Amino acid sequence: MIESSDLRMTRIPLSHGAGHMPALGFGTLIPDPAVTITATRDALEAGFRHFDCAERYGNEHEVGKALEAGLAAGGIAREDIFVTTKLWNSNHRPQRVEPAFETSLARLGLKYLDLYLIHTPFAFQPGDDQDPRDQNGNALYDHDVTLLDTWKAMETLVDHGKCRAIGLSDISLNELKSIYESARIKPSVVQVEAQPYLPETELLEYCKEKGIVFLAFAPLGHGVRPGLLEDRVISAIAARVGKTPAQVLLAWAVERGTAVLTTPRSAARARENFDISPLPEDALDEINRIQTRQRLNEVVKTGVPGFIPQGR
């Protein structure tokens, strides 16, 4: 990790000389198109330089518009921001990967992506239906394509220079090891749920050993209440250091060497979530000793989005 005296500016190097990822990232999983635009602009203005998107979120066009306007207004260059999007489950067949990538790129209005992720290791029936189901409502999987087949098509995107790095999301340690061992271009990033109730320590250690950036989502427990934002240990630390629980949770994530995604939807929240500073060592230890264990997002088990944001 590139240490910075300013925790907000922490940048983590990507393997293969693919640049650096700003550790503090803004997630765009926002159901409302108008809110997507204002929240993305607010995040850029607050200082966020890392934007996490996905074709499945259905709002790449809005994110792209907001970034275009925000970059122009702030005199910020494309190279100064880091943009990720993700390949959805219904596009895992190798011949569908490049078209899906190009479509996302066009919707975002960008010429290249900093990072492209396979959104989940589960392949759904190929096609335009992002949520194919049988008569009983069960997800329809595609058993004729392996994750390695899809990964090889992702490697071709890097070869063609349209995408600087590739990675995986919602993946288990065993699945990651299998791809890592077979891959010609190793995964640069893994995006998974991680928070004090689900620290994923073993996966984090493996990523550190292999130089893979560990990118955590749900750092605030998806905002579910009661939950992490009201946790007794987190609240006590927040009161002691004069920060909010959200700031404590985000600082902990960055200080343990992960990148992290958060989704503030207002300008005030964007400023709050960007304004993190280092925690005292004993506070980090206290958080690491929290015993509660809870996974909030079940997507990792089925590939079906496991969490519907409040308000959807």
Ligand X SMILES: NC(=O)c1ccc[n+]([C@@H]2O[C@H](COP(=O)([O-])OP(=O)(O)OC[C@H]3O[C@@H](n4cnc5c(N)ncnc54)[C@H](OP(=O)(O)O)[C@@H]3O)[C@@H](O)[C@H]2O)c1
Annotated active-site positions, please? Answer: 57
- Residue 41 carries which side chain, given as an amino acid letter? R
Q: Identify the CA nearest to 261 among candidates 203, 222, 210.
A: 222
90 binds ligand X (CB under 6 A): no
302 binds ligand X (CB under 6 A): no
Interface residue with ligand X among 10, 11, 24, 28 (CB under 6 A) is 28
How many residues bind ligand X, per CB under 6 A? 28
Nearer to ligand X, 35 or 161 (CB): 35
273 binds ligand X (CB under 6 A): yes
87 binds ligand X (CB under 6 A): no
- CB half-sphere exposure, 193, CA atoms < 13 A: 19
297 binds ligand X (CB under 6 A): yes
In degrees, rounded to 5, the angle at the alpha carbon of residue 302 between the alpha carbons of residues 298 and 308 is 45
Count of all residues that appear for the chain in the document: 312
27 binds ligand X (CB under 6 A): yes
Q: Near ligand X by CB under 6 A, which window of 128-136, 160-168, 204-212, 213-221? A: 213-221
Q: What are phi and psi of 27, to 5 degrees?
A: -95, 140
Q: State in angstroms the smallest separation of the CB of 161 from ligand X.
A: 25
Q: Identify the CA nearest to 150 among candidates 67, 99, 107, 91.
A: 91
Q: Near ligand X by CB under 6 A, which window of 24-32, 60-68, 104-112, 147-155? A: 24-32
65 binds ligand X (CB under 6 A): no
49 binds ligand X (CB under 6 A): no
52 binds ligand X (CB under 6 A): yes
Interface residue with ligand X among 20, 61, 186, 265 (CB under 6 A) is 265
89 binds ligand X (CB under 6 A): no
Nearer to ligand X, 93 or 269 (CB): 269
Dihedral sign computed on CA atoms, order 282, 286, 289, 295: negative
Interface residue with ligand X among 7, 21, 29, 179 (CB under 6 A) is 29
286 binds ligand X (CB under 6 A): no
Q: State in angstroms the smallest separation of the CB of 270 from ligand X.
A: 8
**33 preceded by a cis bond (ω within 30 of 0):** no
C-alpha distance across the termini of the chain, in Å: 36
Q: State in angstroms the smallest separation of the CB of 60 from ligand X.
A: 12
Could you give the CA distance from residue 83 to residue 111 in angstroms, rounded to a whole number? 11
70 binds ligand X (CB under 6 A): no
Residue 125 vs residues 122, 152, 299: alpha-carbon distances, Å = 10, 19, 17
Nearer to ligand X, 255 or 272 (CB): 272
Could you give the CA distance from residue 55 to residue 86 in angstroms, rounded to a whole number? 6
200 binds ligand X (CB under 6 A): no
**Which residue shows structure tokens 């995107």?**
157
Question: Token pair for residue 251?
Answer: 């600082």
Written as one string, the DSSP assignment of 217-255 is E-TTGGG-SSSGGG-HHHHHHHHHHT--HHHHHHHHHHH
Q: What are phi and psi of 81, to 5 degrees?
A: -115, 160
Q: Is 125 helix (H, G, I), strand (E, B) or coil?
A: coil
Q: State in angstroms the smallest separation of the CB of 261 from ligand X.
A: 4
122 binds ligand X (CB under 6 A): no
- Contact residues toward ligand X (CB under 6 A) are 27-29, 52, 169-170, 191, 217-220, 222-223, 229, 244, 246, 261-265, 269, 272-273, 297, 299, 307, 310
